[in-house]
Structure 1
């Protein structure tokens, strides 16, 4: 079959496809790309790593991904605070003055702490505040900031100011009674006004202010009861003084109305005293109600007051001495009677 043994590409009239330059360029590129595959050994990692040529990673199109919204609990990190520089107008004298104030406050706190540790026995009486050259020395110790708990200090101060206001009104009552005496309204009111001032001022301090002070200091139900009982009489006495009965020793409402008929100036003075007495009555009722509310909130009762009274009586040294003396006298009397028979 000679016809089939002939080379079909031997005919020069037929185009050779491999003679195309584009095909030859592709062939050369393919040969360069597969040149390292002849010596490739899959079990020799080090050689393959040395012989492998870095190939460029195919680029991928950028894909936008959904971003979740920020959480509501996200907190912005705090910025470090910068130290504030002192004002430029501060001088050494200002710093020294502040240092002295701090040292003085520290000394005051140390003194109060020492007094608290020493107890009431080691304290020096400071009320009434009398000068050192006075022959009469203070009789009581009083320091609301030290003795009274913080939540009750305001009430105790109000009670102390109320006592001072009572004393002021009683002093003004003397002036009103003196003005009445000048217009021939009698000397009795003037004498009684002086007696009221001399008696009611110290007695009110001892009988109702000191018990309420001790009650808040040591949470004593017995002292609360003493305060309620005596302060009620204080209210009644002040109410009678505000009415101002004739020759009662106080410039009350009735006395002031009668004074206006005699002299207008005297009537004005006595009316001011009357307003002072009425103000005292109102303030007494308000503070009594407030103290009673505090007393009930602490869980105190009459039984607790009786128990405290009994305990205080039994612990009192004078009562114990009197009881022992009475018991010894009774025993001696019985022995003497037995020896007689």
Structure 2
């Protein structure tokens, strides 16, 4: 993510292998992604910078940041790129996990990369099709129809599934032939839009169908605040990048601390919005300002805390911050990296002078 780009001491994400080897932080120590977890009501439960978003990293962060009692409450998971490996890894730490679904918006977003991130008629039609995966109905099969289906089952033929989904994709590519041949410049290898629509394949379709299964497995009163797939996380990505837009350089510990503060602010405003309803829609910043308008310390508490920092008759000591040691170590590594780059620059400059027969004093 963009907020991980200005971290000092680690190589750029598109740098060569030689540049990464010379960086102060190795690739295993570098922070490239922000791993985020939202709850059923879209509460931001975790916001942590990490090396990657693979299955091992996801399970490690969940196990470190959440108690076992919280992991036992997880029944369903929505992910950007679900896989059997991710499901099996999560199953080891979430014993009550029942299913995993694929986000229903990323396919339309990948389509819109071919139109400079603008919504076209084709992508709008695809979004309408994908919205069916978030629909919930209360229809039940009539007894006569059910009996007729049971009577007409032929054991020598397989079950046919995903027909409606496949027909919709086929109709979409037929109506919008001009758009499906455009190249989608999305993250990862560039592909044409019709290649992205291979999501109608068997395994990937089942991840989509899990959206319907999960919503039907939940009680109706729990669906009001349930987001569609991982769309709320995508909105959070935009908000994080906007917060770090003006930052040029920072340490890894500073990034983690800023993300924790941002997560706390999101939780405070979310909690107030859930338990103290407003008469009209209020922005997140206004709710957060009202939630934090009261001081958490009284004057006596503040004086007592300051008195605890006294070292006899001497001056007050600085508070022991939890990330200060990590920041000091990262600052030293960054200084070493800057010194190394300066020496390399002067050495190359000296070689350039010698090539022209010049000498420096």
Which TM-score applies when normalising by structure 1? 0.22
Normalized per residue, the structure richer in helix is: 1
More strand by share: 2
Q: Look at both structures and tell me which one has the larger radius of gyration over its CA atoms.
A: 1
Structure with greater contact order relative to length (CA < 8 Å, sep ≥ 6): 2
TM-score scaled to structure 2, two decimals? 0.21
